[in-house]
Chain A
Amino acid sequence: MSTATNEGRGMMGVPAEDGTTSAADRALLPSARPVQLIDPAGRHTHDDRYPLPDGERLLGVYGRLVTGRRINDQANALVRQGRMAVYPSSHGQEACQVAAAVVLDEEDWLFPTYRDTVAVITRGVDPLEVLTLLRGDWHGGYDPYEHRVATQATPLATQLLHAVGVAHAAKLRGEPTVVLAMCGDGATSEGDFHEALNFAAVFHVPVVFFIQNNEFAISVPLSSQTVAPSLAHKAIGYGMPGERVDGNDLAALLSVLGSAVDRARDGGGPSLIEAHTYRMQAHTNADDATRYRSADDVEQWVPRDPLLRMRTYLRDLNLLTDDGERTLSDEAERIAAAIRQGLNTEVDVNPAELFEYVYTEKTSQLREQAEQLREELARGADPAADDAGDAPGAGDQATGDRP
């Protein structure tokens, strides 16, 4: 098995003659500043290593950005209307969401978290299937194999190891699959984050670890997670390159992530990309962000909005016209309407399904329990009526029935 000890990689901390860090070590270091190709004012800023994607590509991906923003807004509205239990919004992080999905080929895999709904939809998964999780019909709504998108991970950083395993299996079979694994800044404190990076490096597998540093883990700021110079610097400890990128700059994200994906596909091994972005809204609708950050803090990020700068850039080049904008917003609205309509339609949940997938074949115990529930339902029992707190009308009745 090819491990990091050959090919001049790994264990290379041999100091250069003058006692300074070797060139090989320095090559793992991230850029001094996050890579930026289009600044918040919409102007191209040159970078020696990362080329600016061409206008047509940027225009195409900008459309996904508009749709992504619309999906976030629509999902928030549906939570307020009681159609979904909760929605962890990626408002403000849409450039990361879209870039993570579009840099991958069909045979690649995406490993998203609960906040990465827009990335999953951008990859091609049916929005209603994605939102099943948050609507509460089931713990997952889509077939991971259909678009090669893993389930949205809730336990932090656990999915990064799965990404390593998928990549490892593909490598053993000689398949060109690249895996892009997403996590947030808070997740970098979890043990699984470190184990995933280390395993990926040791087995030299094609994984791009993509951190969206949105500065908060619910209420805890990044300064309480780490005192490392940057999250991208953590890559060095595992012998892989780290890079940081302006997470609100779609062009830079496409270029940096694209380069990491190419590198992984060409046998260059894993790398770690940190995107600097900001969670513009609360952790979820159940969170109150005013308890831990000021409106002024959030205000500072408004001019850095990922849609704003890309729109300005494309309009200045006349790539985006009034007509073009209307087309994009119509398309976004069409998708939002489909989501609205889908989530406003009641779905019949099937309690018999509870026992179906625990094992490939139901155990005798599960057969008994499924039968018990079936009989309860057949004689008209309604377990939901016992939840006094949830349904005021029916609940009062049920409480009254209790001895």
Chain B
Amino acid sequence: MTQTTEAPARATQDRQAGVVPPAPRSTSTFAKALNAALADAMEADSAVLMFGEDVGRLGGVFRITDGLTARFGEERCFDTPLAEAGIMGMAVGMAMNGMKPVVEMQFDAFAYPAFEQVVSHVAKMPNRTRGKVRLPIVIRIPYAGGIGGVEHHCDSSEAYYAHTPGLTVLAPATVRDAYFMLREAIASPDPVVFLEPKKLYWSKEEVDLAELRRTYDDGQAPRRIGRAVVARAGTDATLITYGPSVPTALAAAAAAAEEGRSIEVIDLRSIVPFDDETVCESVRRTGRAVVVAEAPGFASVASEIVARVQERCFHSLAAPVLRVTGFDIPYPSPKLEHFYLPSVDRILDAVDQLQWED
């Protein structure tokens, strides 16, 4: 989280230089940033609609849509009958007819009933019609674990979507990215699966949401779809990660620094399109890489990243590219999930195995 670490550092420098400290900056949670992004997008474009289960009066089970119905009316943010295929299929029709629907799948595993609509139509309709029908739909999915959730509430389902040509698949990991990436997703003419790491909903950063809005509306926010970011610079090895695993990877890099190893952390942000350039530039420089992701490792996004890095960076590699992922088991129950999730120790163990010469 480059942004969080940079801001206090700058403040310290300013104080040391005798500059008058700026007014205290406001903070926002990841959840509030998403809420603001939705509100700002709805304000900017009357074609943007928000619907799903409990997103109206309740404001969503995670409160991401809080206040939208009150502000924009029941025609713009509304509850649907409890049927995910219905939500997705209706979104297809609305998008065909000039709207920009944002739908909420209440939890990762509750999105599965909508899978046929996603795979057979959301992803394929633009291709089927040679681009005549574009489907600017955003499918918001609170996803992944680490929150002590019961079964069907903690799946990392990104591989299903990433494997489906036609879908853009995003997973923000910072408050700032949550805002900008959701705005960008809503503005995209292509369908976007927007994966919101549940365990980051309550994470905070010093950001001024009004300032983010101005930055975005002025076209000053750099593109994030298809662009990974170096979340922490380093020289000895690269951790490639996204979504809920980003903070864990950053913590591992901080711990490694204490042991004298300089670890770079790449936050992909965008799983599809995949930013080969940023990833490969880093790995060619460091010569070592570990991919960190929460989903089961077999046939996963992590597998794909390893394959791509190996194909493109083979001659720069000093060691095989390793993975730290979830085990190939159903997501564990709350008391067992910490055995499953990628941890700082497990990441550091993998880094240790990268055939160091010293």
Contacts and interface: CB of A to CB of B under 8 A. Distances in A.
Interface of A: 1, 109, 138-140, 143-145, 150-151, 155, 158, 160-170, 172-173, 191-192, 195-196, 198-199, 202, 353, 356-360, 363-365
B239 interface: no
A165 B127 contact: no
Contacts of A363: 226, 272-274
A100 B257 CA distance: 70
Interface of B: 49, 74-75, 78, 80-81, 83, 85-86, 88-99, 101, 113, 116-117, 120-121, 124-134, 165-166, 168, 188-190, 226, 272-274, 276-277
Given A158-B116, A161-B92, A166-B94, A356 B132 contact: no
A204 to B, nearest CB: 12
Contact of A195 (B81, B98, B126, B272): B81
A365 B90 CA distance: 31
Contacts of A162: 89-90, 92-93, 96, 121
Contacts of B96: 144, 150, 162, 165-166, 169
Contact of B120 (A109, A138, A158, A357): A158
Nearest to A1: B74
B93 A139 contact: no
Contacts of A191: 83, 85, 113
B93 A169 contact: yes
B142 to A, nearest CB: 22
A195 B131 contact: no
Given A139-B128, A192-B89, 9 more contacts: A144-B129, A145-B132, A151-B133, A155-B121, A161-B88, A164-B89, A165-B91, A191-B85, A364-B276
Contacts of B131: 356-357, 360
Residue from B93, B96, B274 having most chain A Cβ neighbours under 10 A? B93
A358 B74 CA distance: 34
Contact of B166 (A192, A359, A364): A359
Contacts of B129: 140, 143-144, 151, 357
A52 B1 CA distance: 72
Most central of A143, A196, A199, A353 by chain B CB within 10 Å: A199
A202 B80 CA distance: 8
A124 to B, nearest CB: 16
17 contacts: A109-B97, A139-B127, A143-B129, A161-B86, A161-B92, A161-B93, A163-B93, A165-B93, A192-B85, A198-B86, A199-B83, A357-B131, A358-B126, A358-B127, A360-B134, A360-B189, A363-B226
A151 B121 CA distance: 10
B120 A164 contact: no
A362 B113 CA distance: 29
Nearest to A165: B93
Nearest to B95: A165
Contact of A165 (B74, B89, B134): B89
A144 B182 CA distance: 29
A148 B152 CA distance: 40
Contact of B80 (A109, A144, A155, A199): A199
A359 B123 CA distance: 9
Contacts of A160: 89
Contacts of B166: 358-359
Given A199-B81, A356-B131, A164 B165 contact: no
A165 to B, nearest CB: 2
Contacts of B94: 165-166, 168-169
Given A138-B130, A151-B128, A364 B86 contact: no
Given A163-B93, A198-B81, A360-B190, A158 B75 contact: no
Contact of B93 (A145, A166, A202, A358): A166
Q: Which of A150, A353, A357 has the most chain B CB atoms inside 10 A of its CB?
A: A357
A168 B49 CA distance: 12
A161 B122 CA distance: 12
B185 to A, nearest CB: 13
A164 B273 contact: no
Given A360-B134, A364-B273, A161 B120 contact: no
A357 B127 contact: yes
A250 B129 CA distance: 32
Nearest to B270: A363
A140 B133 CA distance: 11
Contacts of A356: 130-131
B98 A169 contact: yes
A292 B112 CA distance: 35
Nearest to A171: B75
A140 B74 CA distance: 36
A162 B97 CA distance: 10
A357 B78 CA distance: 32
Nearest to B119: A155
A170 B133 contact: no
Contact of A158 (B121, B126, B190): B121
A356 B165 CA distance: 12
B85 A195 contact: yes
A195 B53 CA distance: 14
Contacts of B101: 165
A93 B272 CA distance: 45
Given A151-B125, A161-B93, A199-B90, A359 B132 contact: no
B228 to A, nearest CB: 12
A143 B274 CA distance: 31
Nearest to A139: B128
Contacts of B120: 155, 158
A162 B121 CA distance: 10
A138 B126 CA distance: 12
B128 A140 contact: yes
Given A199-B83, A365-B274, A140 B90 contact: no
A143 B93 contact: no
Contacts of A169: 93-94, 96-99
Contacts of B116: 155, 158, 192
A164 B86 CA distance: 9
Contacts of B132: 143-145
Contacts of A158: 89, 116-117, 120-121
